Amino acid sequence: MSIAERLFLMIFLQLVVVSTASSITVGYEAPDFRLQTADSKTHQLHKMRGSVVFLIAGNRKLRKEDNQWGEAIVADFKKWINNAKGVTPLFRCYIIGNMDDIPKFISRQFIKKQLLKKPPPVPLLLDWKGEVHQQYKIECKKRKKPSLYIVDQQGKVVFHQYSKFNRQTYDKIRQFLRNLLSQSNSIDSQKSSRSGVDLIPSR
């Protein structure tokens, strides 16, 4: 192997390492995951195609922040989440909780019972081993902020930001979601008019 070939290989390998260490990129397909809530209901991202999905990724130290995001989203987008039975919701919102840093002497059963007694504002997906956080290369511990994602109807990441809850950032996200949902609703309304199904949520 020539010196030029070796140099090219070294640069290529460095680029591979950098690319694998970076976080999920906007415009790319969101990695699939399959997690359960405290009531043992399973939620799989791949099966949410057709819905706009807002993900709030955090840990136990960020639970207050996670809940603030969830509460604000529910207050503004409840009509989009509570859709007609048997029809794919236009919008979904979840907290992905990294449970890997919870002391091992606290049982999973105990945690589930506590969550059922005082449920979060949106479904909390239990990432027991932190595998989804690793998969998405989330750095909540380092940044001390929730990691926020918006996934569109086709399963692509269209927004990502680390942020504590504040009105300025929330207003930006709210407007982004409204625009995305308006586009989605317009497309679905055209489809439903042909099939005779009303997908527009009641106000």
pLDDT at position 85, please? 63
Domain boundaries, the chain: 36-191
Give how far Cα 5 sits from Cα of 9, 10, 16, 17, 124, Å: 6, 9, 16, 18, 50
Q: What confidence tens digit (pLDDT) does each residue in 73-117 have?
A: 999 999 888 655 667 889 999 999 999 988 889 999 999 999 999
Q: What is the chain's pLDDT, residue by residue, as a tens digit (203 residues)?
A: 555 444 443 433 333 333 334 567 899 999 999 999 999 999 999 999 999 999 999 998 999 999 999 999 999 999 888 655 667 889 999 999 999 988 889 999 999 999 999 999 999 999 999 999 999 999 877 889 999 999 999 999 999 999 999 999 999 999 999 999 988 765 554 454 443 333 333 33
The one-letter amino acid at 76: D
Its CATH class, for the domain covering 36-191, is alpha beta
